[in-house]
Amino acid sequence: MEEFDSSGNHIHLTAENAQETITLAIEHLLHTTALEERTKAFDENTAYLRTQIMKIHEFGGPPRVQLSKILTMFNIEVMEE
């Protein structure tokens, strides 16, 4: 089987190096898919948290209460010095 690389050069595949090439291609696809899924999950989580913070802000109340709700949402405890 004859293939071409990105420069247009001929690449000659044998049964041995074809198997190695296929394995590398599959690993690359799995890595790319996992990266895309992590990016998508991060974007969705960021959008959700932004929405929750905006709801707290739009509900109103003193800034101290809003801050307290946001800290609780992120499970952040403020330590007194």
For the chain, give every domain's residue range.
2-73
Task: Judge contact between 38 and 45, C-beta under 8 A.
Answer: no
Backbone angles phi, psi at 50, to 5 degrees: -60, -45
8 torsion bin: left (phi>0), alpha (psi -120 to 50), beta (else): left
What are the tens digits of pLDDT across the range 37-59? 999 999 999 999 999 999 999 99
Give the model's confidence band at 13: pLDDT under 50 very low, under 70 low, under 90 confident, else very high. Answer: confident
Average pLDDT for 1-11 = 61
